[in-house]
Structure formats: structure tokens, C-alpha cells
Amino acid sequence: MSAHFGEELELYALGDLEERERGAIAEHVRTCDACARRIGEAEETLATMSSLLPAYRAPQRRRPVWKPAARVAVAAAFVAGLLVAAFTLAFINVGNESGDDIRAQVAMTHAHFRHIELTPVTAGAPAAKVIYAEDRSWLYAIVDDGRPGYRLLAAGPSGAHELGRLVAHGASSSLFIAHPTKANRLELAFGNRIVARGTLP
Amino acid sequence: MNLEEIYERYADVCFSVALHVLRSPDDAEDCVQDVFARVWQRSDAYRPERGSLRAFLIACVRNDALGRRRAEARHRAIEEREARLQPSVEFEIADHVEAERVRQGLQRLPPDQRRVLELAYFGGLTHREIAAKLDEPLGTVKSRLALALRRLSRDLGAPQGAAP
């Protein structure tokens, strides 16, 4: 870990540092609890100072409507009564969403579904989730990485077979399988390497 | 807590902070929505070890608002908006107890430190603008700001690693 920062941490909280310096501090506090706490303390104080500002109500009219980039995804999530967290990975770049995403959203608004998080098995593996219909009529895999090359595999006693290739779009990749699958043990591969695993209950 | 709950709980204070910097309800609304969506999409952006979610969101909104203001060099337009601000949004009475506590904490700061912190936070001036206004070296202004914020944090007993 690099050396701790000094007064730059308070200046960071105040929001008036050069982009390069901000980036260096942001990177540092990802792994340094001491500096993160010091920034947090400064942020807490600045938040308290906001009590001296005139207080306004945020406009109501756009509350449920997000920016175009996230609108479709979040709307689908609200309609379906989802844990929105399950979707955050999926729709980072909804602006150039794939056909799979649209089909998945339509499916999700018409079915009961659950999700699991795949467990990384290699260092640096991206976050990945699988959303699936309770009746297993469809399955939707999402990976927080826009590089092409991800595949979803079903693992069985006689080895793994490929369920499909994820489509990369923007900052994420996804795969929608619109037919019933009995697969329970899922593996996410990047190229020939397994990077994450999960089991549907 | 899901996104809607977070928005319901913190949007008002974040909107107030953004509005103070940007002086435009539309810009403040855009700023708040952008920040909430960004923070929500990047689940690793917030760490509870850092402090409360409220403070984190307010800091993100304030930084984003300052960035917008700097990037678009809107100072003049912002000043022109001052007169139009009041009728367009609903105004509420702030938390008087908390406000009084902060006010007293600021009063206990050395005058030179209080001045730079007030110019930065309430005046929305950049460090360079403060240095020019006070005719002080930039490094001095930065050190005073950091000292002021540290001292005020200790004085107010800002919770460390508070729960969201």
C-alpha cells in the first residue's frame, strides 16, 4: 500500500482537487481504511454543515424516472418489484442494450424470478449474476465486463457443456436463454478459463 | 435499501446541496439523479468503513455540482439565476438544532480558518478563487482549509464509520 495522504484528504472531501490527484486518492482509499475513514470524517462534517444551507424538496415529477441510460432497466425493476441490486450490473449501458436485455426485461415483467451471484474463482473475476424464472423457463446471465469472450456453462458429472455465449455491449455482457434448462451448477468461462461458479437452488 | 428508498431518504438534502452550488433547479435535479444512478450502478463506490451513506452521497453530489460549475464556467449565469431561484422550488425550514451546533462550531475556529472554510463551502469558491480574494498563497489557503475541516470535525464529534 502506498503512503498515507495528508491534508489532501480534507481537500478531496471539499471537492476541489485536480482530476489526477482525485484519481490517485480514490484509488488509494479503495484499500486504505485509515485514509478512507479520514475522508469519511471530513465528508460527515461537510454533510452536517449542509444544515446551514436552505433546505429544499427535490422535485417529485421525475422521481421514478432516471436518465435515459438507465430508464428501461430501472423501470423494469420497479414494475417487477425487484431487488434493484440484481440489475445494476446488467444495465450500466442500456443506451446500447442488446436484444437479449430487452427480451430479459420483458420476461422479468411477466414472471416470478430469483437471482444468484456467481462466486469468483479467479483473481480479478468480474461481478456476475444469474437471474432465473422460478419455473426455470428462462435464465439471464449478466457480467460486469464488456469484453467479448464470456461463455456460460452447465457443469455435470460428465463434464461441462456450453449453454451460450454472452454478448458484450458497453460495460457489461449478457446472455438470455429463453428455453427451459435443467442445469443447476453454472460456470462462467472467459476464453477457456473458468472465472466464476454458482449453483441454482 | 433499494434505489428508490435511498432516493426518498436522501434526495432532498442532496438536492439542496446541489442547488446551492448550481442555483438552477433543473441542473440540480440532473446532478442528483446522475450521482444516484452512478453510485447505484457502481456497487463498490461506497464503503461503509468510510462513513455514513448520507455523507458520502452529499459529498458526491457536491463534487459533481462543483465539477459541472467549473466545466461549464457558469458563474455569471449562476449569479443571474439567484433572483429566479426562490419561486421555482419548495423551501423548507432547516434543522435549527443542527444548524446552531454547526454555527457554534464554526465560531470556535480561528478566524482565518473559518473564513476560508466559509468561502469554500457556503461561497462555493475554488481554492484559487479564495487565494485571490484574500491575497494569500494557494498553499496557505489549502492548509487552512484542511486544518479548519479537521478541527471542526473534532469539535462536532463527527461519527467515525457511522452506519448509513
Cell numbers 462536532: residue: B156
Q: Which amino acid is at A179?
A: H
Give CA–CA dist A92/A144, Å, rounded: 9
Per domain, the residue ranges of chain A are: 8-52, 68-199
How many other β-carbons are positioned within 10 Å of the β-carbon of residue B164?
Answer: 15
CA distances from A104 to A107, A140, A172, A177, B41 (A): 5, 7, 15, 9, 18
Domain B95-158 carries which CATH code?
A: 1.10.10.10
Give the pTM. 0.55
Domain boundaries, chain B: 1-92, 95-158
B89 CB neighbours in chain A (<8 A) are 56-57, 59
Pairwise CA distance, residues B57 & B36, whole Å = 8
The CATH number of B1-92 is which of 1.10.3720.10, 1.10.1740.10, 1.20.1090.10, 3.30.465.10?
Answer: 1.10.1740.10
B95-131 pLDDT, tens digit per residue, is 667 778 888 899 999 999 999 998 888 877 788 888 9
Q: Look at residue B71 and tell me whether its pLDDT is greater than 80.
A: no
Chain B residues near residue A37 by CB distance under 8 angstroms: 49-51, 160-161
pLDDT at residue B162 above 60?
A: no
Residue A124 to chain B, least CA–CA distance (Å): 14
Residues of B in contact with A55 (CB under 8 A): 12-13, 16, 91-95
Confirm whether the ipTM is greater than 0.95.
no
Per the listing, cell 434526495 goes with B11
Residues 109 to 148 of B: which have CB under 8 A from any A CB? 120-122, 126-127, 142-143, 145-147
Question: CB distance B55–A46 less than 8 Å?
Answer: yes
